[in-house]
């Protein structure tokens, strides 16, 4: 049986799913854009698009330039990642499942015919229409659940509550320009500390806490773009460098959906 799964997206939430499937023996090929904008970069395989190779919790991801290079990565126990914004890999690489893990809050072009089994993470997909199933990505009781009909909970634009804070912990650019990071992931910051600039405009910490994520230096950003994330729990610094509880819950939902599908094939039930 084909064990290859193509995953769109290599950000921190996608990395949870990629890591989980890789450890469970699947051959994962990750599709990314040329310049990813993940802010939780210490736990995002998308960083390999800049550095050539990156490692998260002992698993390495390597940038490739040709689909044919994926096989060598799999043999070496490495996750291959390639720039493929139009998902050309669907036509070029034999696979049985496709997971849209871009977490774009909208469908970037995923259709149910892109694989024998297609999974969409979060809002923007309709189970049974453009994907087989949807995995809930909103924090709360339904996080990680498999949705077989309909859609995930709609995006509210308000971050989930952590340590009593919601929208305050996520920082957006007030103007368009080139991002210049000053603070680093894992730094302890206080409200009002200078953590970055967008062109010459200063960006200040919005609360006391641990800088959990910050955009890569030198990237151009539009106005109101997400550029940093502060965790108010001062004791949680080490969590900046491990896959989050949210990413793990989503990964569990994806793995469970794939196992259900494979069990269905073995019992002759086909697509579910």
Query: pLDDT tens-digit profile of 139-167?
Result: 899 999 999 999 999 887 767 667 676 68
pLDDT in tens, 200-238: 999 999 999 999 999 999 999 999 999 999 999 887 789
Which pLDDT belongs to residue 268? 60
Same-domain pairing of 84 and 141: yes
Which pLDDT belongs to residue 272? 46
Residues in the chain: 272
CATH number at residue 202: 2.40.50.100
CATH number at residue 34: 3.40.50
Tell me: pLDDT of 266 over 70.
Answer: no
Same-domain pairing of 110 and 174: no
Q: Taking the CA atoms of the chain, what radius of gyration do you get in angstroms?
A: 19
Determine, yes or no, domain membership for 239: no
Supply the range of the domain harboring residue 74. 4-155+245-266
Average pLDDT score over the chain: 94
Which pLDDT belongs to residue 197? 97
Residue 87 neighbours by CB distance under 10 Å = 18
Same-domain pairing of 97 and 189: no
Residues 6+ apart with CB under 8 A from 246: 13, 16, 137, 139, 143, 160
Same-domain pairing of 31 and 95: yes
Tell me: pLDDT of 269 over 90.
Answer: no
pLDDT in tens, 167-209: 888 999 999 999 999 999 999 999 999 999 999 999 999 999 9
How far apart are alpha carbons 266 and 43 in whole angstroms?
35
Looking at per-residue pLDDT, the higher value among 269 and 224 belongs to: 224
Which pLDDT belongs to residue 271? 54
How far apart are alpha carbons 101 and 18 in whole angstroms?
9
How far apart are alpha carbons 54 and 121 in whole angstroms?
23
Region of poorest pLDDT, from 37-41, 128-132, 156-160, 258-262: 156-160
How far apart are alpha carbons 67 and 142 in whole angstroms?
36
Which pLDDT belongs to residue 235? 79
CA-based nearest residue to 235, from 208, 253, 258: 208
Which pLDDT belongs to residue 164? 72
Which pLDDT belongs to residue 25? 97
Which pLDDT belongs to residue 165? 64
Determine, yes or no, domain membership for 272: no
Same-domain pairing of 171 and 149: no
Residues 6+ apart with CB under 8 A from 213: 12, 38, 39, 40, 41, 42, 185, 228, 229, 240
Same-domain pairing of 150 and 219: no
Residue % of the chain over a pLDDT of 70: 94
Residue 4 Cα distances to 16, 70, 96, 118, angstroms: 17, 11, 6, 13
Q: What is the mean pLDDT of residues 80-89?
A: 98
């Amino acid at each position: 049986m084909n064990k290859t799964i193509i995953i769109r997206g290599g950000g921190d939430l996608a990395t949870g799913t990629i890591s989980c499937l890789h450890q469970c023996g699947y051959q994962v090929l990750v599709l990314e854009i040329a310049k990813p904008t993940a802010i939780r970069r210490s736990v995002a395989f998308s960083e390999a698009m800049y550095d050539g190779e990156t490692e998260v919790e002992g698993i390495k991801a390597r940038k490739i330039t040709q689909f044919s290079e994926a096989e060598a990565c799999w043999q070496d126990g490495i996750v291959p990642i390639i720039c493929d914004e139009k998902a050309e890999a669907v036509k070029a690489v034999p696979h049985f499942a496709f997971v849209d893990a871009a977490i774009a809050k909208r469908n970037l072009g995923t259709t149910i015919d892109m694989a024998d089994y297609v999974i969409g993470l979060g809002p923007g997909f309709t189970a049974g229409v453009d994907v087989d199933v949807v995995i809930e990505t909103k924090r709360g009781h339904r996080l990680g659940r498999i949705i077989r009909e309909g859609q995930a909970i709609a995006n509210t634009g308000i971050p989930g509550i952590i340590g009593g804070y919601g929208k305050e912990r996520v920082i957006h650019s007030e103007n368009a320009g080139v991002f210049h990071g000053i603070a680093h992931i894992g730094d302890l910051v206080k409200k009002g500390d200078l953590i970055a600039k967008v062109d010459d405009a200063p960006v200040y910490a919005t609360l006391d806490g641990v800088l959990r994520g910050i955009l890569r230096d030198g990237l151009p950003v539009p106005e109101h773009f997400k550029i940093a994330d502060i965790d108010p729990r001062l004791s949680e610094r080490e969590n900046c460098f491990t896959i989050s509880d949210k990413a793990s819950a989503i990964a569990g939902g994806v793995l469970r959906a794939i196992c259900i599908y494979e069990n269905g094939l073995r019992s002759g039930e086909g697509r579910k």
